[in-house]
Structure 1
């Protein structure tokens, strides 16, 4: 392990200390390592040709005219990208969906941006995880049989 010295202003140090406490980190070094790992997971926009797996989380008003129909149509139009969707009714007019997507990073980001940009979508966020090679996908993506009996 290497030791690094960093100068941080008081305001940012206060934010780091709050992050450390909220996350249950034992010390600042753990918190900083956690933040660095999270930052390194975010690939630069230039890596748009790489494959990825992503979770798109969005909240929308299902009473917005034709919105539910548009969202379903958009998902069907991108069926090759869609792995699964979880739909939850938050209240009488609000729904939350979590859509798991796969494909070329730039295409997944474009699709997510389109959905999030629809009128009536109140919140949206995309979390992108780089996909490994095709061989790793075969190993990790394999369905495991349940024991019979």
Structure 2
């Protein structure tokens, strides 16, 4: 099995180690492999295949990180996908909430690009189907 080196802040590593201890993992590699499988499996659900979905995405970042400008650029580049956007504050962090509607592949790509922005600490989302007959 190939060996992969991963860099992360000390605080995140401490959280990972505590998680490993609390949940009985044999080590960091096992926990990282499981997390990777989960990340790769996101949006890989045949339930959403070939239909529009609505996704509510919340990002959290430090205001001083410069992430806000990049988030804004990404939002504008995807104006056809992003139907709503709200900026808010929670303690010392900034929250950016996006409501997006489109095909699962487009939304999955958008979430991945949000996660790749330097300074973005968390990206969480929930998915709803856009079956308008249910909403009527």
Same structural fold, with TM-score higher than 0.5 when normalized by the shorter chain: yes
Flag the structure with larger Rg: 1
Describe the SS at the equivalent of 1:114.
helix
Distance 2:44 2:69 in 1: 33
Alignment TM-score, normalising by the size of structure 1: 0.55
Runs of 4+ residues deviating >4 angstroms:
none
Q: How does 1:30-109 map to 2 (within 5 A)?
A: 44-46=44-46, 47-65=48-66, 67-92=67-92, 94-109=93-108
2:37 aligns to what?
Answer: none
**Residues 79-118 of structure 1, C-alpha deviation per residue, up to 9 Å, x if partnerless?**
01111112112245x2011111100111111101210221
Distance 2:59 2:107 in 1: 15
Residue correspondences, number = 94
Alignment TM-score, normalising by the size of structure 2: 0.60
- What is the Cα deviation at residue 49 of structure 1? 3.2
- What is the Cα deviation at residue 43 of structure 1? 7.2
Distance 2:71 2:43 in 1: 27
Unaligned runs of 5+ in 2: 1-41
